[in-house]
Structure 1
Amino acid sequence: MEEYQIQIIQTTVIIVSYIVINTVSQYIIKKVGVKFTYSKPRIKVIKKLIHLIYFVLIFNIILFIWGVDQSELMYFITSLLTVLGIAFFAQWSIISNITSSLIIFFNHPVNIGDTITIMDKDFNIEGQVSDVGIFFLSIRNNENEKITIPNNVFIQKMIKKKG
């Protein structure tokens, strides 16, 4: 038992740190969501995504603490990333949309309820932003039609915000 005492203490510190950091992050995300009146499902998705990122990071740190052979771990990780890379290459838009949803959530000036015009060379889209999901942004136009735009396309377009 004494030979593992340092690893147990380090693991405990890491887990407690993880709980504190995750709790603070969840609180900040909730406050940002309330401040900008984001929908509850949108806030929930962002919370889960941040939680997953933290969990993977902490899991890797704990593996390092317990002395998992780094070369074997690297072979495993590179093999896993290669398979995931090939799978995601075909689905690059999924990762792009998830990343774009984070950018829209934290740093885009458009909020739910804003009336906007998406300026495109072929056809402008005008309406009120009704929802921002993890993959799509929804707009209701003047005819009460729902228009969905992939998040990665939305952040690449010029937006004119009214009012």
Structure 2
Amino acid sequence: MNVLKIQILETLVILFLYAIAFYLTKNIIDNTLKKAQLHRARRKMIIKITHLFISIAVVTLLSGIWGLEQKEIAVFASTILTVLGIAFFAQWSLLSNITSSLLLFFTHPIRLGDTVKILDKDYPMEGEVNELNYFFVHLKTKKWPDYNRS
């Protein structure tokens, strides 16, 4: 068998395994998290993150099959990580928001529908958690305080 046929066969095997892994992880994660009674949006987010990591692994394997050397892959990955590191350092508050939202997301100290009280010296606030995403926690308050100072 020549090299091209072997590469095509390996690629087909990887893509077949990718399809199986994609399907299995979706079902396993969804069923497991349903038992944990997580909100549907959180389950979808965890499935998307898992599929992202699986896709990155498949692209790495395919690039190795089709002739990219480890050195080239390592240079590409380190370049991407360097750019992300510089971008996050430039936007320190963005990195802080993402880190705190991931902590809130995975440790589950608050859930949708919980009432939260923010103890701020100048602007205390209390409200129901309406939405959780990567950057913000949206609260639905009973009355909106007037922060405009004329």
Q: Same fold (TM over 0.5)?
A: yes
Q: Match of 2:67, SS?
A: coil
Larger Rg: 2
Alignment partner, residue 39 of structure 2: 37
Alignment of 1:1-163 (within 5 A): 2-28=2-28, 30-31=30-31, 32=33, 35-38=37-40, 40=41, 44-119=44-119, 124-143=124-143, 145=144
How high is the TM-score relative to the length of structure 2? 0.68
Amino acid at match of 2:76: F
Say whether the 8 Å CA contact 2:128–2:140 is kept in structure 1.
Answer: yes
Of 63-72 and 5-14, deviating more is: 5-14
Compared CA separation, residues 75 and 86, structure 1 to 2 (3 A): same
Q: CA deviation at 1:116?
A: 2.7
Deviations 1:67-99 (A, max 9, x none): 312223323332333233222321344445445
- Relative to structure 1, is the Cα distance of residues 113 and 51 closer, same or farther in structure 2, using a 3 angstrom cutoff? same
1:46 and 1:102 in contact (8 A); partners too = no
Matches of 1:62 and 1:74 in 2, distance apart?
15
Structure-2 change in CA distance of 1:94 and 1:15 (3 Å): farther
The SS at the match of 1:139 is strand
Pair 1:55–1:135, CA change in 2 (3 A) = same
Q: Alignment RMSD, CA only?
A: 3.3
Q: Which residue identity is paired with 1:37? A: H
Higher relative contact order (CA 8 A, sep 6+): 1
Q: Provide the C-alpha distance between the structure 1 equivalents of 2:90 and 2:45, rounded to a whole number of angstroms.
A: 23
C-alpha displacement at 1:36, in angstroms?
2.7
Structure 1: 5+ residue stretches without partners: 147-163
Tell me, what secondary structure is at the counterpart of 2:78? helix
Kept after mapping to 2: 8 A contact 1:113/1:129: yes
Describe the shift of the 1:63–1:12 C-alpha distance in structure 2 as closer, same or farther (beyond 3 A).
same
Contact 2:89–2:95 (8 Å) recurs in 1? no
CA distance in 2, matches of 1:48, 1:37: 15
Question: Going by fraction, where is strand more abundant, 1 or 2?
Answer: 1
Shift of 1:117: 2.8
Q: 2-side partners of 1:104 and 1:28: how far apart?
A: 23
Match of 1:156 in 2: none
| Deviation of 1:137 (Å) | 0.9
Distance 1:63 1:109, change over 3 A: same
Partner secondary structure for residue 110 of structure 2: coil
Residue by residue over 1:96-145, the C-alpha shift from the partner in whole angstroms, topping out at 9 and shown as x without a partner, is: 544544443343142111123345677654221111122111112231x4
**Secondary structure at the counterpart of residue 138 of structure 2:** strand
